[in-house]
Amino acid sequence: MRVSFSTNAFTQYSIFDAVEKIAAAGYEGIELLADIPHLYADSVSVSDLQKLKEHLSRTGLRVANLNANTAVGYYGRSFWEPLFEPSLAHPEPLERQWRIDYTRKCIDMASFLGSPCVSVTSGRMVPGVLPEKSLDFLRQSLKEVAEYAHDHGIRIGIEYEPGLLVECYEELASLLDGLDLPNLGANLDLGHSHLLREDPQKVIGGLGQRIFHIHIEDIKDRKHYHLIPGRGDLDFGSLFETLGRHHYEGFITVELYTYPHQPEAAAKSALSYLRSLV
């Protein structure tokens, strides 16, 4: 089991400090937040990317994923934007094109930094726009993004989440089946799956080799609040056994953006618990 930690827990630190602290906590890999305050693609400098690449090389951290789910920087604010907007399914052409272009820039960063994957979401359902129409927008955007990613040797993992346009396993599987693109797959968040009361064996078995990257966190009482593994209701031992049976060999990223005031302690506690299971 290869475990990484997301820098989205370290939003009160620079990306360079986040790298150092995640490496010091004992992780093998790292997920990079493609947004403020870390790697907002519309403003990050080439020199900072080169410096980051050197930091990663020196610490030995492997990049597990470039997380392009959010776009807080688009709004120029220091808190979460409304449900990952503007998205690849946005009804306004200019907004949708912005996200396509932004995702391409993230693919460029992923290629430069050695990340095999870039994760994206579908965005939200918009009042006045039928879900079927939003899905049409999403499919077209994903085709463009996946083609660009293919040319750069990058895979795109779609993350489903309750409340979004693509919010469950069945919807993601249907989307992937319909597009049938080899470098388009799943960024599977097992906490989201738990919230939806999905059968892990069905989800993991059904997605199979289309699982490109995994997020984990604990969940208690089916409330969507990311907890340190071991503090909620998920049976991680069983989940890891299921992943092993289906030959998942990628990184499992601990995603704890809910601990911005104590990310180091959260990272260390999570890894200690996960190591106790193997």
Instruction: Give per-residue pLDDT as tens, 3-14.
Output: 999 999 999 999
pLDDT of residue 106: 99
pLDDT of residue 1: 82
Rounded mean pLDDT of 28-54?
97
Task: Give the number of domains in the chain.
Answer: 1
Alpha-carbon gap, residue 136 to 181, rounded angstroms = 16
Is 80 exceeded by the pLDDT of residue 42?
yes
**Residue located via tokens 């932004």:** 102
Instruction: Give per-residue pLDDT as tens, 218-263.
Output: 999 999 999 999 999 999 999 999 999 999 999 999 999 999 999 9
Q: How many residues does the chain have?
A: 278
pLDDT of residue 30: 99
Instruction: Give per-residue pLDDT as tens, 153-212.
Output: 999 999 999 999 999 999 999 999 999 999 999 999 999 999 999 999 999 999 999 999
Q: Which domain holds residue 222?
A: 2-275
Mean of the per-residue pLDDT values for the chain?
96
Which CATH number covers residue 164? Answer: 3.20.20.150
Other C-beta atoms closer than 10 Å to the C-beta of 129 total 14
What's the 3-state SS for the chain?
Answer: CEEEEEHHHCCCCCHHHHHHHHHHCCCCEEEEECCCCCCCCCCCCHHHHHHHHHHHHHHCCEEEEEECCCCHHHHCCCCCCHHHCCCCCCCCHHHHHHHHHHHHHHHHHHHHHCCCEEEECCCECCCCCCHHHHHHHHHHHHHHHHHHHHHCCCEEEECCCCCECCCCHHHHHHHHHHHCCCCEEEEEEHHHHHHCCCCHHHHHHHHHHHEEEEEECECCCCCCCCECCCCCCCCHHHHHHHHHHCCCCCEEEECCCCCCCCHHHHHHHHHHHHHCCC
Look at phi and psi of residue 230 and say left if phi exceeds 0, alpha if psi is from -120 to 50, else beta: left
How large a percentage of the chain has pLDDT more than 90? 94
Phi, psi (rounded to 5 degrees) for 167: -120, 0
Is 90 exceeded by the pLDDT of residue 270?
yes
Please, which pLDDT band fits residue 73 given cuts at 50, 70 and 90? confident
Instruction: Give per-residue pLDDT as tens, 130-148.
Output: 999 999 999 999 999 999 9
